[in-house]
Structure 1
Amino acid sequence: ALPAPARPARAPRRAPAKEPAQAATEPATATPARTPAPDAGAGARTAVLAGIFGEILGLDAVADDEDFFASGGDSILSIQVVARARKAGLRVTAQEVFQHRTPAGLALVARGAEPPPERAGLDPVGGLPPLPIMQWFADRADASAGPAGRFFQSALVVTPPRADLASLTRAVRDLVDRHDALRLRLDRPGGVWALSVASPGAVPATVRRADARGLDGEALTALVAEESATAAARLDPAAGNVFQAVWFDRGPGAAGRLLLCVHHLAVDGVSWRTLLPDLRTAWEAAASGGAADLAAPADLAVPATSLREWAHRLLAEAHAPERLAELAHWTSLAAPDAPLAARRPDPSRDTAATQEALVLTVPEDQARVLLTELPRAYRCGAEDVLLAGLALAVVRWRDGGDPWLLVDLEGHGRHPLDGTDPSRTVGWFTTLHPVRLDLDGVDPEAAGRGGTAAGDLLKRVKEQLRAAPGQGFGHGLLRYLNARTAPALAGAARPQILFNYRGRLDPAAGQGDDRHWAHAPESAALA
């Protein structure tokens, strides 16, 4: 855990599993892009984008030539740049943020915001193949029974004092109708997983009222804990119920709480950065008494790529020659590393019921070095720095054992493919791929003391991470969506460590009027 000024985004809680609210660093190869010539409006666009960079990175001022990633940005935050630029009337893509990394550079390719697209392609309603991470989950659990049926994420936000059940219900209904994943249904004919998206309006969107009048402190926290557990128990993806909402009514003039509980099949950490702002927008429209035109960009913008279109696009991508060429890299990682304990993890024994948690808080001055100063000095991401530290810790702990380890690395999975833009699409997009961190020839004690040896270690780990083709995006495609390549990867060793860098908290969240709709103090009580 990191101190508040540098803390990763508070991922909505879920049970019982690790939290894949993920962030990635800069791409394996940042292809230099041709820079257009400046035009008359470039200066104004630069100023807007510099302001957006500053808001997201928590900086008072950002120079026109300041590198977003060298200043602490990551790929999840780049999605926020896209969203805020759209709100400011500019259209850029996440890939363009990677390629044109400064306000001035990005301003040269920024375009005026376009009206919501007319979806002339695949109908967003209907059946879709499970995404690779869903297939990964299907290999491990039954989504409708036992502990895995409670595989969910939750968020608890503060609602304005004038919010009431009617306006919140309308806002939730608009949210469910806008985002296809909240209308998912899981079917398992013959044990094979299949998903479908229901039409807008076909899924009842209700808000349960919990009487919290006069409650605060421990009493309110206890009620939140009770209601969040029962909300999770009501989730049933096989019945098309992947979303629950509970309003904690604290009475007239008091700020309430709103709990959103979503089955993990329908949401990931990045999704909340779309859902929560959209919830606020929908409620403000409902509370104003006006008819909300949800197709208008000022209200809830239509995701450029539907969940169903994305799923089918991934299915095609899994058979592309460029992806098939990656198979040799992934099969080269099939050998297991040495056990981390007296025995290897046993899926029949080491389950969610026996897991434990350890939380350590890094002092603020060290966090600043880890997340900002070292990435800037070595032109890498915070994830590279943290993984270098992890690799060093494991090798030192083994004390003369194997100098390398396998790690499963999570990514946000929203890498735009040709003709797609999933930046605002809600769903479980997480990618998971193995990386081999090899410290052979590194003196662990010298690297642990810092200095040149530590810098060399960081550069080595950075290069090894960059060796993964396409940031690891293709591994799940070949493992789960291509019947010809899947057998070659099915028997590979399962890494004993899963690493997930959650990204940074938006420094502006919860300030000023934003204290309403910010994460509530009782969030730690969520089931």
Structure 2
Amino acid sequence: MTTEIPFTYAQQLLLGLEYAVPGRVLNPSLIVRGAYRVAHEIDIGVLRQAVDDLVARHDALRTTVSRDPDGVIRARVHDAVPGRLLVHDVDDEDAFLAMATEMPYPPDEPPLLWVHMGRCADGTSLLVIVTHHVVSDAWSLTLLARDLSDAYTARLRGGPPLDSGVLSYAEVAADDHSPAWERTITDALPYWKDRLTGVADLALPVPTPGRRGEQHTRRFTVPAALWRRLGEVARRRRTTPFPLLLTAFAAAVWAGRREAVVPIITAGRKPSEWYTAGFMLNLLWLRLTAGDPGDLDELSRRADAECRAAYRHDVPLLRVLPEAPDLTASIFDPSEIVERTFPVFQLIPKSPFAPAAGDPALLLTPVPEERQPAPVMPLHLLWSMRVDEEVTGIVTYEAEMFGGDWVAEKIGAFLSALERLADA
């Protein structure tokens, strides 16, 4: 049995891109994935039960999204769907990771969760968890890894399976239209109308205007000593390193400009929704100004103030866009040739989730990001900073629009700006 459910505000925003450019979202390449190494033996039968438990717990994974013959895109949740565990014998680990990232994952074939288990020659295993992006996001992925470990531990040791006592994704979508949330949104709209008026004119010119095509990825590392110094500066200012990273990004990518508009990705979740898998992220559009573009200290303090104000008014972008119609037209522009864009920035912190069991029976060690092929993103340029044991930058970009030399130059400028901020 299937039931049609409403879309969250975040999904409606994502699907706006699909209506503007069909195939941009409802395609089998738009995924999020995480790869983990398991050094101990895995009971495949128990792992298969744990994957089933995961699908039963999170209704987003049992949800399919498709376009009906009348052209309307609908979401339908399936009451019962078995999990999908794919077992492989692995000779070439890099080839396995590439296969797990690049194979097709249709958004209309439930469940929208694929778990690849690769049995390696050295006796270890690789687990790759894949979900379609239309029903999941990076926050969900770390949650699913935690829940998979917990489900496996419970099944192996005879404990109760994972319960379904989390807020369902359908309930989150329904709560988007609750009176309390509606009041919060309405109160925030005047702030965004003031901040976003005229921002479409501030889009960044694309170095080489062109069509969407092949995406490339460039990775880099922030030296540990530099990261420690940035942390000390942030503590002195009673803030976090995020405004410093944002300042360096704006100074590098928007070099020499007195004003920059930077969309940043947030988790888009209330505390009650932390344990619910689904696509709920949000975009906050930060308008950064500087009297002197070369004064990074001034720019960083303004960035800090802008971040604080934006987060106080963190409401769904879909509801904000009617206050900025020129920005709406820019975001959903169906033109084939892209001439201007807004590079997107995000910070990916260390996962807040840990297995509930003190001694989990499934120990998942993340595979270093640089070993994993980057999934396709529905953005022209996405600049991510991942904070874990080390701080890694991941720049995913349209190769025809942003050449490798341009990206390398911006990465160098970004690291140089961080050095200057650390000396402040």
TM-score range, shorter chain: 0.7 to 0.9
Counterparts in 2 of 1:195 and 1:520: CA distance versus 1, 3 Å: same
- Matched with 2:112 is 242
- Matched with 1:294 is 162
- Matched with 1:211 is 89
Equivalent-residue separation in structure 1 for 2:320 and 2:3 (angstroms): 24
Equivalent-residue separation in structure 2 for 1:391 and 1:487 (angstroms): 22
Equivalent-residue separation in structure 2 for 1:255 and 1:403 (angstroms): 52
Q: Once the 2 structures are TM-superposed, how far is the Cα of residue 311 of structure 1 from its aligned partner? A: 0.7
Counterparts in 2 of 1:514 and 1:497: CA distance versus 1, 3 Å: farther
- Matched with 1:258 is 127
- Matched with 1:424 is 275
Contact 1:175/1:275 (CA < 8 Å) preserved in 2? yes
Q: Once the 2 structures are TM-superposed, how far is the Cα of residue 434 of structure 1 from its aligned partner? A: 1.3
Identical aligned pairs, as a percentage?
23
SS of structure 2 residue aligned to 1:191: coil
Equivalent-residue separation in structure 1 for 2:130 and 2:253 (angstroms): 36
> Is 1:163 aligned to 2:9, yes or no?
no
Equivalent-residue separation in structure 1 for 2:23 and 2:242 (angstroms): 35
CA RMSD of aligned residues (A): 3.4
Q: Once the 2 structures are TM-superposed, how far is the Cα of residue 203 of structure 1 from its aligned partner? A: 1.1
Equivalent-residue separation in structure 2 for 1:487 and 1:393 (angstroms): 26
Which residue of 3, 6, 9 maps to 1:132?
9
> Is 1:412 aligned to 2:248, yes or no?
no
SS of structure 2 residue aligned to 1:244: strand
Equivalent-residue separation in structure 1 for 2:113 and 2:353 (angstroms): 28
Equivalent-residue separation in structure 2 for 1:207 and 1:387 (angstroms): 39
Equivalent-residue separation in structure 1 for 2:129 and 2:170 (angstroms): 23
Counterparts in 2 of 1:514 and 1:523: CA distance versus 1, 3 Å: farther
- Matched with 2:234 is 375
Q: Once the 2 structures are TM-superposed, how far is the Cα of residue 331 of structure 1 from its aligned partner? A: 2.9
Equivalent-residue separation in structure 2 for 1:523 and 1:390 (angstroms): 21
- Matched with 2:225 is 365
Q: Once the 2 structures are TM-superposed, how far is the Cα of residue 488 of structure 1 from its aligned partner? A: 4.3
Q: Once the 2 structures are TM-superposed, how far is the Cα of residue 149 of structure 1 from its aligned partner? A: 2.7
- Matched with 1:320 is 182
Contact 1:144/1:237 (CA < 8 Å) preserved in 2? no
Counterparts in 2 of 1:204 and 1:523: CA distance versus 1, 3 Å: farther
Q: Once the 2 structures are TM-superposed, how far is the Cα of residue 367 of structure 1 from its aligned partner? A: 1.2
SS of structure 1 residue aligned to 2:228: helix
The TM-score normalised by the length of structure 1 is 0.60
Match of 1:519, as an amino acid? P
- Matched with 1:278 is 147
SS of structure 2 residue aligned to 1:467: helix
Which residue of 98, 119, 122 maps to 1:225?
98
Contact 2:188/2:313 (CA < 8 Å) preserved in 1? no
SS of structure 2 residue aligned to 1:246: strand
Contact 2:129/2:145 (CA < 8 Å) preserved in 1? no
Q: Once the 2 structures are TM-superposed, how far is the Cα of residue 342 of structure 1 from its aligned partner? A: 6.2
Equivalent-residue separation in structure 2 for 1:497 and 1:137 (angstroms): 16
Counterparts in 2 of 1:318 and 1:497: CA distance versus 1, 3 Å: farther
Deviations 1:189-221 (A, max 9, x none): 33332212222xx21213122123xx3xxx232
Equivalent-residue separation in structure 2 for 1:522 and 1:423 (angstroms): 24
Equivalent-residue separation in structure 1 for 2:115 and 2:206 (angstroms): 44
Q: State how 1:431-442 maps to structure 2 within 5 Å.
A: 431-439=282-290, 441-442=291-292
SS of structure 2 residue aligned to 1:472: coil
Which residue of 386, 397, 411 maps to 2:245?
386
SS of structure 1 residue aligned to 2:216: coil
The TM-score normalised by the length of structure 2 is 0.73
Counterparts in 2 of 1:275 and 1:238: CA distance versus 1, 3 Å: same
Greater shift, 306-315 or 359-368, is seen at 359-368
Equivalent-residue separation in structure 2 for 1:249 and 1:433 (angstroms): 42
Contact 1:407/1:436 (CA < 8 Å) preserved in 2? yes
Equivalent-residue separation in structure 1 for 2:50 and 2:22 (angstroms): 28
Which residue of 432, 447, 464 maps to 2:306?
464
Equivalent-residue separation in structure 2 for 1:515 and 1:280 (angstroms): 5
Match of 2:350, as an amino acid? R
**Higher strand fraction (1 or 2):** 2
Equivalent-residue separation in structure 1 for 2:353 and 2:43 (angstroms): 28
- Matched with 1:175 is 54
SS of structure 2 residue aligned to 1:238: coil
Deviations 1:115-152 (A, max 9, x none): xxxxxxxxxx8432222232222222379957843100
Q: Once the 2 structures are TM-superposed, how far is the Cα of residue 262 of structure 1 from its aligned partner? A: 0.7
Match of 1:128, as an amino acid? I
Contact 1:432/1:476 (CA < 8 Å) preserved in 2? no
- Matched with 1:516 is 363
Deviations 1:450-476 (A, max 9, x none): xxxx1x332222112233363432433
- Matched with 1:311 is 173
Segments of structure 1 that go 5 or more residues without pairing to the other structure are 1-124, 296-300, 449-453, 480-484
Equivalent-residue separation in structure 1 for 2:117 and 2:182 (angstroms): 47
- Matched with 2:412 is none
Equivalent-residue separation in structure 2 for 1:508 and 1:322 (angstroms): 32
Q: Once the 2 structures are TM-superposed, how far is the Cα of residue 523 of structure 1 from its aligned partner? A: 7.3
Equivalent-residue separation in structure 2 for 1:151 and 1:339 (angstroms): 25
> Is 1:188 aligned to 2:67, yes or no?
yes
Q: State how 1:14-29 maps to structure 2 within 5 Å.
A: none
Counterparts in 2 of 1:158 and 1:523: CA distance versus 1, 3 Å: farther
Contact 1:186/1:240 (CA < 8 Å) preserved in 2? no
Contact 1:222/1:525 (CA < 8 Å) preserved in 2? no
Equivalent-residue separation in structure 2 for 1:523 and 1:207 (angstroms): 25
Deviations 1:8-40 (A, max 9, x none): xxxxxxxxxxxxxxxxxxxxxxxxxxxxxxxxx
- Matched with 2:77 is 197
Contact 2:10/2:316 (CA < 8 Å) preserved in 1? no
> Is 1:340 aligned to 2:207, yes or no?
no
Deviations 1:31-50 (A, max 9, x none): xxxxxxxxxxxxxxxxxxxx
Equivalent-residue separation in structure 1 for 2:327 and 2:252 (angstroms): 29
SS of structure 2 residue aligned to 1:407: strand
